[in-house]
Amino acid sequence: MAAWRELKLRDLVVLNYGKPLVAQNRTGGSIPVYSSAGVTGHHNAPLVEGPGVIVPRKGTIGQVYYSSRPFWPIDTVFYILPNEDKYDLSYVYYLFQTLGLDNLNDGSVVPSLNREVLYQRGFRLPPLAEQKAIAGVLKSLDDKLDFINRQNADLEATAEAIYSYLFLDSLGQPNLTPVNWGLKPIKEVAHTYLGGTPSRDKPEYWGGPVPWINSRKVNDIRIVRPSDWLTDLGLKRSAAKLLPEKTIVLALTGSTIGQISVLEIETSANQSVLGIVPRKIPYEYLYCALKFNIEYLVSRQTGGAQQHLTKSQVDNFKILAPDEPSLAEFQRLVAEIFQKISRNRFQAQDIQDIRSTVLPRLISGDLQIS
């Protein structure tokens, strides 16, 4: 087997600078526009024909993106083009995920990567054939994750279509809208609970057996793994409360405001997350009703620099309250859909765990492909 070589990044790749494309100049075509946060818009013409690896350099650093088709990288990212004589581009994509880019931040206020500093980053590079084999193993895991995520998106869309068909299409039509349907505030059909965060200055509050999530976790379509762990003392000495499985969680502030998910585990949460525990209606119905109304609910946000929703605003927000037979019929139609989404998320988490374990070992050479 050919030897691995000790290199620096400048020996392998060229980090090209992206080009500005302000939002008002993006035409909304089919070409993805990449910023440091990933795809943040679309345009009608590419800057790069693709494929390419996109490395954030300012703002959000640490993530790496791969585009298999033409794209436009803006000026907050670097991009890397193929060079089939030197490297496999997919391997470079996985290599960059192991370089600890967030630890190379040299920005005082805005996180940023200096190209010359990044060029000095050392690593070991296998022969080209082994690069392709390693990338193939990792891509197979990513393909499985992508399939599960797309299937869950389709399942979610199906549940929302059933909700719309049963409860929205007849609204305003006197001959179709049941007379015993009405509007009720969320506080009449569910209990709501704000979370809390124990002091980080108290090590005795952290690292115990109690699961805890932050608001970023609400981006997950279903929550199957906590963000961190509290001790029993940390739970007791904070405003955090244990929320049961099937609690609907809503992000109240920050970049995740308005995000909604469902707990598939018992967990506590921080103060930017509102737990909504249904008590008179199925959780599947309340979840779909909230998703349908979320833009209007978020439009009520208050505050200055940090816009937010309040517990009171959610408690008093009114949703359609159908009769029990209609709710039972909806639950019958969507129960298996929600169960499949849950099973998929647990499977995806298992695959993600495997990926997280084998990625650094394959890239370092500690784990060999026979």
**Residue 87: its pLDDT value, please?**
97
Q: Tell me whether domains 5-125 and 182-321 share a fold.
A: yes
Weakly modelled stretches of the chain, pLDDT under 50: none
- CATH (residue range 5-125): 3.90.220.20
Q: What angle do CA 287, 225, 194 make, to 5 degrees?
A: 55
Rounded distance, CA 9 to CA 108, Å?
24
- Domain ranges in the chain are 5-125, 182-321
Task: Please tell me whether the overall predicted TM-score, pTM, comes out greater than 0.85 for this model.
Answer: yes
| CB within 8 Å of 210: residues ≥ 6 apart | 229, 230, 231, 232, 234, 235, 242, 268
Two structure tokens written together for 87: 């490297």
The answer to whether residues 221 and 160 touch, using CB atoms and an 8 Å cutoff, is no
Provide the angle, in degrees to the nearest 10, between the axes of the packed helices 89-96 and 324-364. Answer: 100
Kindly report, residue by residue over 68-83, the tens digit of the pLDDT. 999 999 999 999 999 9
Tell me the CATH number of domain 182-321, given options 3.90.220.20, 3.40.718.10, 3.40.960.10, 3.40.140.10: 3.90.220.20
The answer to whether residues 121 and 99 touch, using CB atoms and an 8 Å cutoff, is yes
**Residue 254: its pLDDT value, please?**
85
Kindly report, residue by residue over 235-258, the tens digit of the pLDDT. 999 999 999 999 999 999 988 899
